[in-house]
Amino acid sequence: MLRLRDIGFQAPARLLESHGLELVPVADAAPIPGSFWGDDEAGLIGTRVFARPATPVHSLLHEACHLIVMPPERRGSVHTDATDCDREEDATCCLQIILADQLPGVGRERLMADMDAWGYSFRLGSARAWFEHDAEDALAFLRERGLPSE
């Protein structure tokens, strides 16, 4: 599984900043503030996404994309759990796959493989099958919000 220590914090920080978010590095042994899953999984509080070097890249992107897909007026009140509805969750998964192409050394193929390895669950059995054959509603949601959808 690809982790932030493998790609560094610089490119992910720039990507998040381009969406009005801040990537906050956390020391290796410290708990990650706002982490829903605990362990090495990314956390979020307001417009800040917390991660340490051992945080999986898919986790960082997933939490950041929760914030990106939600209306800006909701972002400030988010702490740990950002899910609002199934449609927003699907759009989050879709956007994290799309944005993976903007991170050197990541890309959507690698990200989808890591999503499957972590245990994301999709009706069609894999992140790739879902993204390629069942994500039209999520892509429409992203287009409605003016977010990347290709």
Considering the entire predicted model, what is its pTM? Answer: 0.95
Q: Please check whether residue 61 is in contact with residue 99, taking contact to mean a CB–CB distance below 8 angstroms.
A: yes
Q: What is the pLDDT along the chain (150 residues), one digit of tens a residue?
A: 999 999 999 999 999 999 999 999 999 989 999 999 889 999 999 999 999 999 999 999 999 999 999 998 999 899 998 877 888 999 999 999 999 999 999 999 999 999 999 988 888 889 999 999 999 999 999 999 999 999
Q: Where are the domains of the chain?
A: 4-144
Distance CA 143, CA 146 (A): 5
State the Cα–Cα distance between residues 68 and 105, nearest whole angstrom: 22
- Sheet with 43-45, strands from edge to edge, namely 22-25, 48-51, 43-45
